[in-house]
Amino acid sequence: MMSKFLLAVGLAAVMAVTGVSSYVYLGSRQSKVVAPPQKPTAATPRAQAFMLPGTIYLAQSGALYSFSAGRFHQLTPEVGWTQPALYPDGNYLLAVKRSAFFSDVYVLTLYGGVYNQLTNNAAAPRNAWDTGANAWSFYPRLSADERTLWMSYDGPKYVGANYYDVDMAVWAVTPGAPIRSGRAWTVANSYTGGDMQPVPVPGGIIYTKYTYDENGNRTGQLWFTSRAGSPGRALTSTDASCAQAALSPDGGSIAMICTYQKQVSYLTIASWNGSSLGALRTMISNQLVAQPAWAPDGSGIAYLAPGGPAAPFQLWFLPKNAYNPPAPPPVPTPSPTPGGPHNGPLPSPTPPAAPVAPVVKPIQVTFNLGFDATSPLAWLG
């Protein structure tokens, strides 16, 4: 028998604990899909994560990170940094620092220190009243001899023009020289967004040109041009809607994404002979693939894709065997059974069944992060 007073006190305590627990429990049952991405430095990959060779540079929430030996290092603060690219000698990084009204290209050390500013796209103070007097620079890349900076650029701008058509063209300029000494290499299609993501290749550049197809749909195409002002030629069809080209280390293949004008994006590979592409081969069709980058040692392709349905983008890796499986061992040639004369057809040994190529699946390298899928990966061997 328990006294009523003690029971009342006990029940009050139980009710308080149960009510709070119920509230807290429901709160803890919120789905992970609404949770904001973690910082890469807070969430290193799992211990068993696949180890990628070299160092990958990528962007998240306006900061640049390096990823090496399974660990992330934050190189810059979260102040608009994106689109890292390596110097051909691997000693410096190019990157874009983006603000609300303009973006500029910088040279950074491999540890994130600002070494040099290569463009000045902010409107002059006397023109600051006109938002259209600012300019964007995106997707910087250096030529192999490091004497030409390629980038997408929407200048020069005319103050007070109130011009609504903002199209990026691929420009070439000597690093550090004023933009007026540079040249537009491409002529963008009006009201498309223009030409993006130049990739220097021997003899010219491959870039993504946005255009309207015959049905009035806006779509992307890979183009190649070998000289400034030349129209160049399309490498892919408007139907395939391909973009984000990446040249393989041996220079013989191009990785890209193709969307076929739908809300999908396939990892696609094609051979490249210096002037034209071979047949498109779809390697991944069940993920929203972005920004493929070849491993410098040729061991595979890294790319960004959501970690789950409608989720932020994670780092993934497709091993080489998935798109370039090893040749099967030679099938032995049937030979007559030894043992002298034989009537009838010669028995032939049953050839061994051809080995079934193992299905090589992509490997998810990171979890719970949220990389900028419009920012290419830079991979240092």
**Is 292 a residue that touches other proteins (CB under 8 A)?**
no
8 Å CB contact between 67 and 56: yes
Q: How far apart are CA 130 and CA 158, in angstroms?
A: 10
* Closer Cβ to other proteins, 115 or 129, answer by number: 129
Distance in angstroms (rounded) separating the CA atoms of residues 117 and 102: 14
Q: Is 282 in the site for other proteins (CB under 8 A)?
A: no
- Is residue 190 involved in binding other proteins (CB under 8 A)? yes
Interface with other proteins includes 166 (CB under 8 A)?
yes
- Asked if 30 interacts with other proteins (CB under 8 A), we say yes
Q: Which is nearer to other proteins, 87 or 260 (CB)?
A: 260
Give the integer Cα–Cα distance in Å for 376 and 84.
7
Minimal distance in Å, beta carbon 207 to other proteins? 12
311 binds other proteins (CB under 8 A): yes
Site string for other proteins, 332-371 (x = CB under 8 A): --------------------------------------x-
> With binding defined as CB under 8 A, does residue 331 bind other proteins?
no
Stretch that binds other proteins, among 33-41, 141-149, 229-237, 273-281 (CB under 8 A): 33-41
CA angle 62, 73, 55 (to 5 degrees): 100
DSSP 346: P
List Cβ<8 Å contacts ≥24 apart for 230-238.
231/187, 232/186, 232/204, 234/209, 235/206, 235/276, 235/277, 236/277, 236/280, 238/211, 238/213, 238/214
How many whole angstroms separate alpha carbon 67 and alpha carbon 57? 6
Does residue 196 belong to the site contacting other proteins (CB under 8 A)? yes
Q: Which is nearer to other proteins, 5 or 341 (CB)?
A: 5
Rg of the chain in Å (alpha carbons): 28
Q: Binding residue for other proteins (CB under 8 A) from 55, 66, 134, 268?
A: 134
Q: Which of 50, 73, 143, 218 binds other proteins (CB under 8 A)?
A: 218
Q: What's the min distance (Å) between Cβ of 23 and other proteins? A: 4
Q: Does 263 bind other proteins (CB under 8 A)?
A: yes
CB of 4 to other proteins, least distance (A): 5
Count Cβ atoms below 10 Å from residue 241 Cβ, excluding itself: 22
Q: Is 121 in the site for other proteins (CB under 8 A)?
A: no
Which of 53, 88, 306, 319 is close enough to bind other proteins by CB under 8 A? Answer: 306
Name which of 92 and 302 has its Cβ closer to other proteins: 302
Whether the CA torsion 66, 68, 72, 75 is positive or negative: it is: negative
Find the part of the chain contacting other proteins (CB under 8 A) among 63-71, 175-183, 286-294, 345-353.
286-294
DSSP per-residue string spanning 322-338: HHSPPPPPPPPPP-PPS
**What residues contact residue 100 under an 8 Å CB cut-off, 6+ apart?**
none
120 sits near other proteins (criterion: CB under 8 A): no
Site for other proteins in 40-99 (CB under 8 A): none
For the four alpha carbons of 366, 368, 374 and 380, in that order, the dihedral sign comes to negative
Which stretch in 16-24, 177-185, 276-284, 333-341 sits in contact with other proteins by CB under 8 A? 16-24
The amino acid at residue 315 is L
